[in-house]
Structure 1
Amino acid sequence: MTLVVLCASAQAADAGRLFRYRDAQGVMHISSNLPPGQAQAGYEVLDSRTLKQLEKVEPRLTPQQLAERARQRQRAAVEAEEAARARRADLAKQNRDRMLLQAYSSEQEILRLRDRKLGDLERIGRGIENTIRHLRQNLADVDATIAAYRDDGRAPPAVVLERRASTENDLSEQLEFAARIRAEHAEIVERFAADLNRYRLLTGSLRTTAHP
């Protein structure tokens, strides 16, 4: 008995539905049956009494459409990441501005800190250059000793060759150190110039100073 009622209910539900779709020529149809293959082209399910839409089934996408949708999603993801990156950059800029105004009460404070850092680096740089001059002189002395041995037809002692290798290695390290100091010096000059310009913009000060 129960099975009969269920079947009758199912038939009544099917009888209450209509399908609305467009055929390959673009002609609209409303029918109680959905033609073979129409499901892939999309259709609507309507209430047979009110013709109110109950469900809409979108057409199945072609491989080209799927590829285009994937490209659109990728573009959207890239645009979203770029927007997020821009927001982070703007937030970082705001934080930097706030820290700049909190750290300095005047342009002179910025210049004094810059000059102090540059002075420290310049002292270190002078020490390195002095070391480099000594190492070059030592290397020249060792080379002269080695040349003297070879002029006499003798092989230079191992200890002399080892001293040359050690001196050459020390010289290479000091030259690299000097290059890093010069790069840091340039970075400080550039960074403080940017800080000073930004500070002037934030405080509305456009006056010049005696410092470069």
Structure 2
Amino acid sequence: MLASCRTTLALGLLALSLTAQAQTVYRWTDDEGLTHYGHAVPAEYRARGYERLGPDGRVLERIAPEMTPEERAEKATREALQARLELEQENEAARDRLLRAAYRSEQDLQENLDWRIHGLDTQQTALEASLAHSRQRFEDLVARAASLNRQDEKVPDELDESIEAAREEIRRLNDAIRDIESRKAETRARFEADLERYRALTRDPSR
């Protein structure tokens, strides 16, 4: 009796499976653009995409065509651009939060700028003092070498090396001063951008 029940159940499940398969219809197009229907999509047409239809003809599922290498590359580019845009938006929102948290007023922004510029000015003043000292030392060394030349005496290698070292020090200090000037310009430009953004944020508290 038990074996008979199991056999009946198995046959019932098989019948349901066959019925479901019989009711599943696929729709696809061939290379000529002609539409076909069937219970299975030929392998050579699956990459073109197809639809699975229900017993009443409604579309139950759409399988998109496989993308070409060019389409995949284009999709990857779009996704990368979208990801970068979202990251930029997140970074901008984070900067806005920091800006509003750090400053209570435009005066706070101005005072912060003044403090930063003062620090850079202090560094530049020290560099310019060192530069003046290095130039004086360079001139003294060159004058000593010139005096030896006038006396037809050989300029010692140590003196030549000292002159070259002084020249290199002057070059280094000039580069450092130019860097300070550049940083001051960048600081002022950043202040102007922050001030403009701060005004926009405080005009619209919801942002």
**What SS class does the counterpart of residue 56 from structure 1 fall into?**
coil
**What SS class does the counterpart of residue 140 from structure 1 fall into?**
helix
Structure 2 residues not aligned, in runs of 5+:
1-17, 48-66
Number of equivalenced pairs = 165
Aligned to 2:139: 140
**What SS class does the counterpart of residue 41 from structure 2 fall into?**
strand
Match of 1:55 among 9, 16, 40: 40
Per-residue deviation, 1:110: 0.6
Per-residue deviation, 1:131: 1.3
Per-residue deviation, 1:107: 0.5
Per-residue deviation, 1:24: 7.9
Aligned to 2:172: 173
**Which residue identity is paired with 1:83?**
Q
Aligned to 2:64: none
Per-residue deviation, 1:158: 2.5
Aligned to 1:79: 78
Per-residue deviation, 1:166: 2.0
Aligned to 2:128: 129
**What SS class does the counterpart of residue 55 from structure 1 fall into?**
coil
Per-residue deviation, 1:22: 8.3
Per-residue deviation, 1:159: 2.7
Aligned to 1:193: 192
Structure 1 residues not aligned, in runs of 5+:
1-12, 29-42, 47-53, 62-67, 206-212
- Output the CA distance in 2 between the equivalents of 1:27 and 1:198: 59
Two-structure CA RMSD over aligned residues (Å): 3.2
- Output the CA distance in 1 between the equivalents of 2:153 and 2:68: 80
**Which residue identity is paired with 1:198?**
R
C-alpha change, 1:71 and 1:152, in structure 2 (3 Å) is same
Superposition map of 1:201-212 within 5 A: 201-204=200-203
Aligned to 1:110: 109
**What SS class does the counterpart of residue 132 from structure 1 fall into?**
helix
Per-residue deviation, 1:113: 0.6
Q: Percent identity of the aligned residues?
A: 25
Moved segments of 4+, more than 6 Å: 20-28
Aligned to 1:162: 161
Cα distance per residue 1:133-171 (max 9 Å; x no partner) = 221121122111111111211111223222212212221
C-alpha change, 1:55 and 1:27, in structure 2 (3 Å) is closer
- Output the CA distance in 1 between the equivalents of 2:118 and 2:171: 24
C-alpha change, 1:27 and 1:181, in structure 2 (3 Å) is closer
